[in-house]
Amino acid sequence: ANKKLLILPGDGIGPEVMGEVRRIIGWFERERGLGFDIEEDLVGGCAIDAYGVPLADKTLDLAMGADAVLLGAVGGPKWEPLPFEIRPERGLLKLRKEMQLYANLRPAIVFDELADASTLKHEVVAGLDILIIRELTGDLYFGTPRGVETLPDGTRRGVNTMVYTSPEVRRVARIAFDLARKRGSKVCSVDKANVVETTEMWREEVIKLHGEGYEDIQLSHMYVDNAAMQLVRNPKQFDVIVTGNIFGDILSDEAAMLTGSLGMLPSASLGDPDESGRRRALYEPVHGSAPDITGQGVANPLATVLSFAMMLRYSFDMDAEAEMVEQAVRNVLKSGLRTGDIMQPGMAQVSTTVMGEAIIRE
Ligand code: NAI
Ligand code: MG
């Protein structure tokens, strides 16, 4: 049966970069006979304009019925004056929540051709290929009690609570172990088990799960402060990193800067498989809607193209096709084509569509 794909281009450069993915999908359909049933809808600011809400119920229904969702970006200055509850970002948050996406995958890959774009030494980052898996639905961001109160003497007291349950730890650790098998078979679990009991339990549960059929994976543990240092000192020591929501938020942004190019960073968010074994999944570039360059045709489509490759690999088990897309990206970079954001001396600056055409040619 054809794979059901929901495409949500969103706002700003979202539709521009998604257009290139549409053309790549068209190529796979024509040249490789792949069949996708594609629906397209609005999310974010454009959905507010058309439907009055950043994520309409009918759009959510399409997402819940799809094999995978591919999203561009949401937001922009036009909608910033709106109250927080109806801002474009709420559409994305609601989508993640309703789809119960608890594992956020953020690869940090440095293409050798772009290693100089990093602020780190070439030899530290060249060839880097790590995957950070951040738990997305628990931790300080959702735990209760929470809030700020004013005590009788006028002192203000802020409270947030780090909460995880063992099933929450196990399900995200399982994704880490499963994906590590598709990569370098190494998982580093990051915690602060020396001072934070919640993460002590995290570590124990990861170790337990490792003993239940994942003995082929090389498992290590690291305190988050050390992990932050090691990511800068020697990031290539890692393969898969798995960690909680707040540590993952910080470490994944740190890892993004190892690559130095926002326009190149894909991501995926995964949930549980349903009765038919289909895992809920959302794929999107890490970057936002880039209002400063919207409409100029200069946006880098590669983060979205690489998100599409992740979709092929993780939702559809089309590893060969995913590899084709990633190899095409490497070849295009090797041939010297660059969008403005990754421009280097001596290279040819090209538009969004020329970059897309070059990918298809490769
Ligand atoms: P941004 O990621 O949109 O842009 C940051 C800088 O990087 C800008 O100078 C932009 O031109 C550049 N950039 C980003 N993607 C690029 C690409 N593909 N090619 C070339 N250059 C690129 O972040 P910013 O400016 O903080 O936010 C802009 C809007 O996007 C805001 O409304 C924000 O709320 C929203 N946003 C949405 C996200 C999402 O949909 N997941 C994530 C981050 C921000
Ligand atoms: Mg962050």
75 lines ligand 1 (CB under 6 A): yes
The interface predicted TM-score of the complex, written ipTM, equals: 0.98
The pick from 74, 93, 289 for probing ligand 1's pocket by mutation, whose C-beta has the most ligand atoms within 8 angstroms, reads 289
Q: How far is the CA of 313 from the centre of ligand 1 (A)?
A: 25
What pTM was estimated for this model as a whole?
Answer: 0.92
Spatial separation of the C-alpha atoms in residues 175 and 270, rounded to whole Å: 9
71 lines ligand 1 (CB under 6 A): no
Q: How far is the CA of 325 from the centre of ligand 2 (A)?
A: 27
Q: What is the pLDDT along the chain (362 residues), one digit of tens a residue?
A: 789 999 999 999 999 999 999 999 999 999 999 999 999 999 999 999 999 999 999 999 999 999 999 999 999 999 999 987 789 999 998 999 899 999 999 999 998 888 777 778 888 999 999 999 999 999 998 899 999 999 999 999 999 999 999 999 999 999 999 999 988 999 999 999 999 999 999 999 999 999 999 999 999 999 999 999 999 999 999 999 999 999 999 999 999 888 878 899 999 999 998 888 889 999 999 999 999 999 999 999 999 999 999 999 999 989 999 999 999 999 999 999 999 999 888 898 999 999 999 999 99
Q: For ligand 2, a single-atom ion, which residues have Cβ within 5 Å?
A: 249, 253
Q: How far is the CA of 82 from the centre of ligand 1 (A)?
A: 19
Residue 300 alpha carbon, nearest atom of ligand 1: 19
Domains of the chain: 1-111+264-362 (3.40.718.10), 119-259 (3.40.718.10)
The CA-atom distances, in angstroms, between 342 and each of 106, 139, 141, 260, 289 are: 19, 35, 34, 9, 17
Spatial separation of the C-alpha atoms in residues 291 and 117, rounded to whole Å: 22
4 is catalytic: no
The pick from 69, 80, 287 for probing ligand 1's pocket by mutation, whose C-beta has the most ligand atoms within 8 angstroms, reads 287
Contacts 24+ apart (CB under 8 A), 329-338: 329/111, 329/302, 329/305, 329/359, 330/111, 330/113, 331/362, 332/358, 332/359, 332/362, 333/111, 333/113, 333/114, 334/113
178 is catalytic: no
The contacts of residue 339 (CB under 8 Å, 6+ apart) are 263, 298, 299, 300, 301, 302, 349, 350, 351, 352, 355
